[in-house]
């Protein structure tokens, strides 16, 4: 009997098969070489841009990042790392399961996530509805199943971590964590996934069917149900700034130009004219929208603001899903004061945004949907 393992260097990927008897040895070798690979990538980046070591030093002690990532044996686990990518460790380590969609409580003590069988298909569109809802300590210890398969879809913590909200077809439901009792229910006003509760507890955000358009980011008053549009047309993965006054989100603007004759799109099997997803920010009232980061040839998702509001994490994938061969995509970090930054040649994007700052962007391990806490999970 044998089991398959994915070998990946950059965009090269190959599946090999090894005897079960060598499973443990192969897993250890993959873990070792993944650390070597990340060190080489970090060194190469530093040589390419001498500003990166300073950026890494700035963020090293600013808490921890939790994210979902592929393991050496092919399943998805939850990992933590310092914001500069160091001290990376697997906190779930479940070879027979996939863990995803992690969210840290505001006090940094708990993390909620979804867990599915390893054999299940991963989908960034549906994964808020897949599998069990689990709540554990933020270091991964003491995992407790809070909801069974499909229950509590797209969960989000309340600011005091005493409640969670989830979005169902019937509306937004708010549940007490200690008693697991429904506290109240409200109209979802078109929000259908990726629900996020604001740090001040006054608002929800998420993509919605709003005013005849899908994938529109809205702000919803958590008490009155009042709604305002923040960004329309193919926008998603919104998250709050710490002051609850602004939002970070991904958006794929319409009518993007293929100035390279479509070579970037053709290289990844993307249809011409589809465009590339960029990272944007807006005030919560939706009055001003500003580019944060863009790169022709990459789809940028998973924007997460640092607890001090000075930095942002995101992923950069050449394909509009969960990375090449569904292996995740490089997590990246930049200063918000360096926005807007555009990477690479990006001729079409630079034509639209000629006054950019070209700030340093720190490349971290591959993963998906990072979140950031200032709490000291490990010391």
Task: List the one residue out of 30, 58, 54, 53 whose CA is nearest residue 43.
Answer: 53
pLDDT tens per residue, range 23-77: 455 445 544 444 444 444 444 454 578 899 999 999 999 999 999 999 999 899 9
pLDDT tens per residue, range 66-108: 999 999 998 999 999 999 999 999 999 999 999 999 999 999 9
Rounded Cα distance between 318 and 237, Å, is 17
Query: Which tokens sit at 83?
Result: 């914001």
Rounded Cα distance between 240 and 64, Å, is 18
Listed in sequence order, the DSSP H helices in the chain are 23-48, 52-59, 263-267, 347-352
Query: Which tokens sit at 235?
Result: 């926008």
Task: List the one residue out of 90, 167, 116, 127 whose CA is nearest residue 321.
Answer: 127
Question: Contact 238/249 with Cβ under 8 angstroms?
Answer: yes
Q: Helix, strand or coil for residue 362?
A: strand
Question: Contact 49/344 with Cβ under 8 angstroms?
Answer: no
- Residue position matching structure tokens 């926008």: 235
Helix, strand, coil percent content, the chain, rounded in steps of 5:
15, 40, 45
Whether the pLDDT of residue 17 is over 60: the answer is no
Q: Residues near 284 by Cβ (< 8 Å), separated by ≥ 6? A: 203, 205, 219, 228, 230, 244, 245, 246, 247
For 145, 279, 290, 294, 298, the CA distances from 251, given in Å and listed in that order, are 34, 6, 11, 10, 12
Judging by DSSP bridges, how do beta strands 289-294 and 341-342 pair with one another?
A: parallel
- Spell out the domains of the chain, with CATH numbers in brackets: 63-373 (2.120.10.30)
Query: Lowest-pLDDT range, 152-161, 263-272, 318-327, 369-378?
Result: 318-327
- The verdict on pTM exceeding 0.95 is no
At residue 326 the predicted structure's pLDDT band, cuts being 50, 70 and 90, is low
Rounded Cα distance between 289 and 88, Å, is 34
| Maximum distance among all Cα pairs of the chain, rounded to whole angstroms | 60
For 20, 29, 127, the CA distances from 25, given in Å and listed in that order, are 10, 6, 31
How much of the chain, in percent, has pLDDT values that exceed 70?
Answer: 86
What DSSP state is assigned to residue 60? T
Whether the pLDDT of residue 181 is over 90: the answer is yes
Which helix (H) or strand (E) segment holds residue 293: the answer is: strand 289-294
How much of the chain, in percent, has pLDDT values that exceed 90?
Answer: 73
For 65, 279, 362, the CA distances from 307, given in Å and listed in that order, are 11, 18, 18
Q: Residues near 279 by Cβ (< 8 Å), separated by ≥ 6? A: 248, 249, 250, 291, 292, 293, 294, 300, 303, 312, 314
């Amino acid at each position: 009997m044998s089991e398959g393992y994915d070998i990946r260097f950059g965009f090269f990927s190959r599946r090999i098969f090894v005897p079960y008897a060598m499973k443990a040895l192969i897993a250890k070798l993959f873990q070792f070489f993944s650390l070597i690979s990340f060190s080489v990538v970090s060194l190469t980046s530093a040589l390419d841009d001498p500003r990166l070591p300073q950026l890494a030093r700035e963020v090293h002690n600013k808490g921890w990042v939790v994210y979902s990532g592929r393991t050496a044996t092919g399943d998805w686990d939850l990992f933590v790392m310092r914001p500069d990518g160091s001290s990376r460790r697997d906190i779930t380590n479940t070879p027979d399961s996939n863990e995803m969609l992690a969210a840290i409580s505001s006090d940094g003590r708990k993390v909620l996530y979804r867990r599915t069988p390893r054999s299940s298909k991963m989908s960034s569109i549906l994964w808020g509805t897949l599998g069990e809802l689990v709540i554990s300590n933020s270091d991964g210890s003491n995992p407790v199943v809070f909801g069974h398969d499909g229950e509590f879809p797209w969960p989000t913590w309340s600011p005091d971590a005493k409640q969670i909200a989830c979005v169902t077809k019937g509306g937004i439901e708010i549940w007490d964590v200690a008693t697991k009792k429904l506290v109240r229910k409200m109209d979802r006003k078109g929000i259908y996934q990726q629900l996020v509760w604001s740090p001040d507890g006054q608002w929800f955000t998420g993509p919605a069917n709003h005013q005849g358009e899908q994938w529109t980011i809205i702000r919803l008053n958590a008490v009155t149900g009042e709604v305002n549009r923040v960004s329309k047309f193919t926008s998603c993965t919104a998250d709050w700034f710490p002051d609850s006054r602004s939002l970070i989100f991904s958006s794929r603007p319409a009518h993007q130009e293929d100035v390279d004759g479509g070579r970037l799109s053709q290289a990844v099997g993307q249809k011409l004219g589809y465009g590339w997803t960029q990272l944007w920010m807006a005030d919560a009232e939706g009055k001003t929208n500003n580019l944060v980061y863009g790169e022709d040839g990459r789809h940028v998702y998973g924007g997460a603001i640092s607890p001090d509001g000075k930095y942002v994490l995101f992923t950069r994938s050449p394909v509009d899903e969960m990375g090449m061969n569904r292996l995740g995509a490089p997590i990246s970090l930049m200063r918000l004061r360096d926005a807007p930054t555009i990477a690479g040649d990006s001729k079409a994007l630079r034509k639209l945004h000629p006054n950019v700052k070209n700030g340093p962007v720190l490349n971290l391990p591959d993963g998906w949907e990072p979140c950031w806490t200032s709490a000291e999970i490990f010391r």
